[in-house]
Amino acid sequence: MLRKLLVYVVMVGALGLAVITLSCAHKGQALQPASPPVKDEYIIGAGDALGISVWKDEALTRETVVRPDGYITFPLVGEIVAAGKTASQLKAELEKKLSGYVLDATVTVDVRQAGSMFIFVMGKVNAPGRFVVNSNINVLQALATAGGLNAFAKESDIKIFREENGQIKTFSFDYDDVVKGRHLEQNIRLKRGDIIVVP
């Protein structure tokens, strides 16, 4: 009797495991860890503070700010364009230019302060102006930074203007929809220089 009971328990346990496995497979649930999300590299801009160092060469380690014209000055290299490049692109270019002076130059470039990340919020908000941000924020966060909408704002007619490749792109934003959880795709991530206009 005891032996039959043990066999029954083992069979039920195996059947339960098979059902759980099939259920997960049927629902398309991933049993493996998810791959990390793809992350956009930060684009350097005028006003950013950069830390640049060359391995084993303290004389070539310094902090510099990207000038309004997009250039920086670095020893042995002279002037070099930094704005519009990622840290890894600038690193590769500096290593190439230093190769004639430093054997096996290994350069490290990091953005110490993102002084070029700014957006503008205009119109019927409580604190309009130019705002420096440390990361890409969305429209709702930007409006909160500007003190929120005032009582006379047209919530459904907010516009975001973005300049890309010499063209002006316009995005629409309905505040009431987004705060109620509808059409959340309107709550886009802002980029450097974006302008939000609240009529």
- How many structural domains is the chain composed of? 2
Q: Which of these three, 82, 113, 144, is where a domain ends?
A: 113
Beta carbons within 8 Å of 99's beta carbon, 6+ residues apart: 105
Q: Which amino acid is it at 166? A: G
Taking 90 as the threshold, does the pLDDT of residue 35 lie above it? Answer: no
Residue type, 25: A
Q: How does residue 7 score in pLDDT terms, banded at 50, 70 and 90?
A: very low
Same domain, 124 and 188: yes
Which DSSP letter does residue 127 get?
S
In the chain, % of residues over pLDDT 70: 80
Domain final residue, candidates 113, 137, 168: 113
pLDDT for the residue 96: 94
Helix, strand, coil shares of the chain as percentages rounded to 5? 30, 30, 40
**Would residue 89 count as lying in a domain?**
yes
Last residue of a domain, one of 60, 78, 113: 113
pLDDT at 32: 44
Same domain (yes/no): 95, 148: no
Query: What is the sign of the dihedral through the CA atoms of 172, 191, 47 and 143?
Result: positive
pLDDT for position 42 = 85
Q: Note whether 109 and 65 are same-domain residues.
A: yes
Whether residue 174 is contained in a domain is answered as yes
pLDDT tens digit string along 56-101? 888 899 999 999 999 999 999 999 999 999 999 999 999 999 988 8
Q: How far apart are CA 141 and CA 143, in angstroms?
A: 5
Q: Is residue 56 part of a domain?
A: yes
Which is more confidently placed, 75 or 34? Answer: 75
**pLDDT attached to residue 40:** 67
Question: Is there a single domain that holds both residue 142 and residue 191?
Answer: yes
The answer to whether residues 123 and 179 belong to one domain is yes
| Under 8 Å between Cβ of 49 and 64 | yes
Domain of residue 64, residue span: 49-113
Give me the residue label for tokens 């160092």: 53
User: What CATH number did the domain enclosing 183 receive?
Assistant: 3.10.560.10
- Residue 39 pLDDT grade (very low, low, confident, very high; cuts 50, 70, 90): low
Mean pLDDT along residues 138-162? 96
* Domain CATH code at residue 67: 3.30.1950.10
Residue with tokens 């503070």: 49
What tokens were used for 195? 């302008």
pLDDT 10s digits, 95-109: 999 988 888 889 999
Domain co-membership, 169 together with 149: yes
